[in-house]
Amino acid sequence: MSTPSMTLFHNPASPFVRKVMVLLHETGQLNRVALHASQLTPVSPDAALNQDNPLGKIPALRLADGQVLYDSRVILDYLDQQHVGNPLIPRDGSARWRRLTLAALADGIMDASVLVRYELALRAPEKHWEQWLDGQRDKIRRALALLEAEAIAELASHFDVAAISVACALGYLDFRHPDLEWRQEQPKLAAWYLEVSQRPSMLATRPPV
């Protein structure tokens, strides 16, 4: 087995890290990356991470030459150009912008979900801003409704950057926000996710219980 040439600042609970890990599995690049455990919150930073990424966010990928890439979208684009298989991000044309737009929609679900998680987990209950929480949850619901109405056939066509991102977003909802019960309103999305969640890359990267 070759020595890893890159280092990924990693936390298995992060849906953004999971996207990168799924792509590494799907493209056969796992042995190229060493994992650096990074436990952090907005009020409890990781000093080692801050040296490489001043934003203090994961994932961050340190390359062999010392250069550090962030955020997950940049890392996915870089890694997708380091393997010999079919690209998981279309290189050009309308397909590229459509798949990246769907991936960005999934990232928005993750962003809102993580913000809700921080508000509930890090702030005392009497300080929770319910109107703000409802606003984040509404973003999630609107994004899921669009995916249900417009994107199922596209997601099912290829497990690429769009499908990976949506799958990781849904996995995070199940992990941190089961109370949203998203499957009730999105049965087609639920059926698609039931299938793709059994891919080896998804099973291997499930967040800890």
Instruction: Specify the domain boundaries for CATH 3.40.30.10 within the chain.
Output: 6-81
Looking at residue 205, what is its pLDDT? 98
Taking the whole predicted model, whether its pTM rises above 0.75 is answered as yes
Pick 93-199's CATH classification: 3.30.230.10, 3.30.460.10, 3.40.50.300, 1.20.1050.10. Answer: 1.20.1050.10
Looking at residue 44, what is its pLDDT? 82
Distance of alpha carbon 112 from alpha carbon 36, whole angstroms: 25
Cα dihedral 203→158→101→134 (10° resolution): -40
CATH code of the domain made up of 6-81: 3.40.30.10
Q: What is the mean pLDDT of each run of 10 residues along the chain (209 residues)?
A: 88 97 98 92 82 91 96 97 96 97 98 96 94 98 98 98 98 97 98 98 94
Looking at residue 134, what is its pLDDT? 97
Instruction: Specify the domain boundaries for CATH 1.20.1050.10 within the chain.
Output: 93-199
Looking at residue 30, what is its pLDDT? 97
For the chain, the C-alpha Rg in angstroms (whole number) is 17
Looking at residue 1, what is its pLDDT? 53
